[in-house]
A and B are shown apart, each in its own frame.
Chain A
């Protein structure tokens, strides 16, 4: 494994007796898109603030790009672009002025600023409105301006806190594609926090499930589902054109099969829980016995189920 670019060790933050983040350890390597997934109030934002030195951890350390975020936040902030969840801009300034202000704060030269601002406005698709005041901007436009602002410092890492909040579905799609593309093109490491499973599922290489200050699981979607649902095996549901008569003559024959663990029936749908993937064999069996099959569905476990499972554990 490559050297991690974000390294959290035993990170803890207490607000009074409440532990907002509890002994969090996490490594994120370069070029990865990591999704921090959790319900509201799970401590995602607090974790991000600690990574940027915007709040001090009660215990533990956060290393970002090789710098300690608590003792050396300026060095971290040079390398990290951060987009907070509630984005605000100076309303009396135009989008371009807002962007230039941030660029200047990062010490870019005027020449560079001119080139990069127009380039980035093009990338995020705000070229036509960049001389408008940001008070007239919609949420989605602000979000895109925020992304431009994050990118103007040419960061190594970008941290996006709830980037998809409050944008319409089309906008979300566009935004996530943009992030994914930029990450691949510029070898950016992206940390993305969200409570929207589907958004995370679309772009992230790896996700961490974060509930009540604790990281419950991490890995890519396949590993997570294998971990969680491995014991449940494969599930296949077959839909027949006609209702299955009760009792069913073929049931006994099927129960003889080694691989089948359980059969449940509901009118024309039969669900098989199997130890291995025997879908073709099942279909052949039905066809040979003269059943008309309307549909066969193999159940995959998505983030939804994963998420649900973890919440059940908590509640």
Chain B
């Protein structure tokens, strides 16, 4: 037995001069697949169209937005570019809260089940590759694609803005925009990992896609309605409540709404892109008293959105853990 082992070792060292890990190999292949797929091209097209559309609108209105001295944020030209709108179209970050899930879902809904249906999963799993590496590669490859796409877009935007306006960019603005991109990528990551879970759970790609879209619709449309309905029937009439109680209830309602990932994302991205946002909950008169409406420093804004960001990361991790749990001891049969 011992001699056999040493033989194996010699064989191995002789074999590997330039050897990449199985994870790297799968990652490489998955990314190549994404780049070549029509689906990704369509999605890129959609995102870029959205981006150009919202940029066009905001560039048209940028002069009035910048000269509006009542707005404490009016000095941040580049943040204004991302958030200004003439109300004909929503600004880019709101658009993204719709499109982000779509991007995540469409990149992940058939991650595992299509391999199973094509009979490639058995073959891949018969290779010396850990199962979690396959899942992770699927996730990371899509994340890299999305991250690159978003970074390229924002860099294009800032570069274009620099050329068009000639205004110097504040370091704070850059940090905020990068922060916004990171939050957006995490948001897409949540939907991606959710759809990977569904792709493991359901053998038909169509079922998993529909379920993911159903969850997305539920959170964007119905969840708020349901929360409102429930609250109206349960909570006491506000006219009989003291100021303090109303505040507490409001806080409670907001917390409920924040279960929805898109609410978390909207909160976080708004705070990142609008430096004057001081709190995401209601504030009392005492808290407001003496406050000058002025932009917060980047660090403070980051502190405000931190719970939101960690919530998103937590939800992503939970989905991912679930997908591990479902996939690890499962029978791989085609």
A residues apposed to B, CB below 8 Å = 45, 49, 52, 54-56, 66, 74-75, 77-78, 80-82, 84-92, 101-102, 104-112, 146, 149, 153
Q: How far is the CA of A149 from the CA of B124 in the complex (A)?
A: 11
A88 touches B334 (CB 8 A): yes
Cross-interface CB contact of A87 among B17, B29, B123, cutoff 8 Å: B123
A66 touches B1 (CB 8 A): yes
Q: A49-B333, A153-B127 are in contact. List 18 more A-B contacts (CB 8 A).
A: A49-B331, A54-B331, A56-B331, A66-B4, A74-B128, A77-B126, A77-B129, A81-B126, A84-B126, A90-B33, A90-B118, A90-B120, A92-B33, A105-B129, A107-B22, A109-B15, A111-B18, A112-B15
**A55 with B333, Cβ < 8 A, contacts A77-B128, A102-B123, A105-B128 known:** yes
B232 interface contact, C-beta 8 A: no
**A109 with B22, Cβ < 8 A, contacts A74-B128, A86-B334 known:** no
B207 interface contact, C-beta 8 A: no
A55 touches B332 (CB 8 A): yes
Cross-interface CB contact of A149 among B22, B25, B33, B123, cutoff 8 Å: B123
A88 touches B26 (CB 8 A): no
Instruction: Give 27 A-B contacts (CB < 8 Å), ordered by A residue.
Output: A54-B331, A54-B333, A56-B329, A77-B127, A77-B128, A80-B126, A81-B126, A82-B126, A84-B123, A87-B119, A88-B118, A88-B123, A88-B334, A90-B33, A92-B33, A92-B36, A101-B25, A102-B127, A104-B22, A105-B124, A107-B19, A107-B21, A107-B128, A108-B19, A110-B18, A111-B17, A153-B127
Interface residue tally for chain B (C-beta within 8 Å) = 32
B98 interface contact, C-beta 8 A: no
B36: min CB distance to chain A, Å: 7
Chain B positions within 8 Å of A84 at CB level? 119, 122-123, 126, 334
Chain A positions within 8 Å of B21 at CB level? 107
B334 touches A107 (CB 8 A): no
| Chain B stretch 216-258: residues in CB contact (< 8 A) with chain A | none
| Chain B stretch 105-126: residues in CB contact (< 8 A) with chain A | 118-120, 122-126
Q: How far is the CA of A74 from the CA of B130 in the complex (A)?
A: 7
A5: min CB distance to chain B, Å: 11
Please name the residue on chain B nearest to A77 by beta carbon: B128
| Chain B stretch 13-67: residues in CB contact (< 8 A) with chain A | 15-22, 25-26, 29, 33, 36
Please name the residue on chain B nearest to A74 by beta carbon: B128
Q: How far is the CA of A56 from the CA of B328 in the complex (A)?
A: 11
Chain B positions within 8 Å of A55 at CB level? 331-333
Chain B positions within 8 Å of A85 at CB level? 334
**A89 with B120, Cβ < 8 A, contacts A108-B15, A110-B18 known:** yes
Chain B positions within 8 Å of A102 at CB level? 123, 127
For B119, B128, B329, the residue with the greatest tally of chain A CB atoms inside 10 Å of its CB is B128
A52 touches B25 (CB 8 A): no
Please name the residue on chain A nearest to B115 by beta carbon: A88
Please name the residue on chain A nearest to B21 by beta carbon: A107
A52 touches B120 (CB 8 A): no
B314: min CB distance to chain A, Å: 30
Chain B positions within 8 Å of A75 at CB level? 128
B128 touches A52 (CB 8 A): no
B65: min CB distance to chain A, Å: 46
Please name the residue on chain B nearest to A150 by beta carbon: B126
A105 touches B127 (CB 8 A): yes
A54 touches B332 (CB 8 A): yes
Q: How far is the CA of A153 from the CA of B12 in the complex (A)?
A: 12
A54 touches B19 (CB 8 A): no
A52 touches B331 (CB 8 A): no
Q: How far is the CA of A45 from the CA of B25 in the complex (A)?
A: 28
A99: min CB distance to chain B, Å: 11
**A54 with B122, Cβ < 8 A, contacts A86-B334, A92-B36 known:** yes
Chain B positions within 8 Å of A49 at CB level? 331-333
Q: How far is the CA of A54 from the CA of B120 in the complex (A)?
A: 14
B142: min CB distance to chain A, Å: 17
Please name the residue on chain B nearest to A54 by beta carbon: B332
B48: min CB distance to chain A, Å: 24
Chain A positions within 8 Å of B125 at CB level? 54
Chain A positions within 8 Å of B19 at CB level? 107-109
Q: How far is the CA of A101 from the CA of B334 in the complex (A)?
A: 20
B329 touches A88 (CB 8 A): no
B27: min CB distance to chain A, Å: 11
A106 touches B127 (CB 8 A): yes
Chain A positions within 8 Å of B128 at CB level? 74-75, 77-78, 105-107
A54 touches B126 (CB 8 A): yes
A105 touches B16 (CB 8 A): no
Q: How far is the CA of A91 from the CA of B117 in the complex (A)?
A: 12
**A109 with B127, Cβ < 8 A, contacts A45-B333, A49-B333 known:** no
A155: min CB distance to chain B, Å: 10
Counting from the closest, the 6 A-B pairs by CB-CB distance are A88-B119, A55-B331, A82-B126, A88-B118, A104-B25, A84-B122
Q: How far is the CA of A112 from the CA of B15 in the complex (A)?
A: 8
B131: min CB distance to chain A, Å: 9
Q: How far is the CA of A149 from the CA of B4 in the complex (A)?
A: 25
A105 touches B26 (CB 8 A): yes
A244: min CB distance to chain B, Å: 58
Chain B positions within 8 Å of A104 at CB level? 20, 22, 25
A71: min CB distance to chain B, Å: 12
For B16, B33, B124, B333, the residue with the greatest tally of chain A CB atoms inside 10 Å of its CB is B333
Q: How far is the CA of A115 from the CA of B20 in the complex (A)?
A: 18
Q: How far is the CA of A84 from the CA of B18 in the complex (A)?
A: 30
Q: How far is the CA of A253 from the CA of B140 in the complex (A)?
A: 88
Please name the residue on chain B nearest to A159 by beta carbon: B126
Please name the residue on chain A nearest to B20 by beta carbon: A104
Chain B positions within 8 Å of A111 at CB level? 17-18
B215: min CB distance to chain A, Å: 29
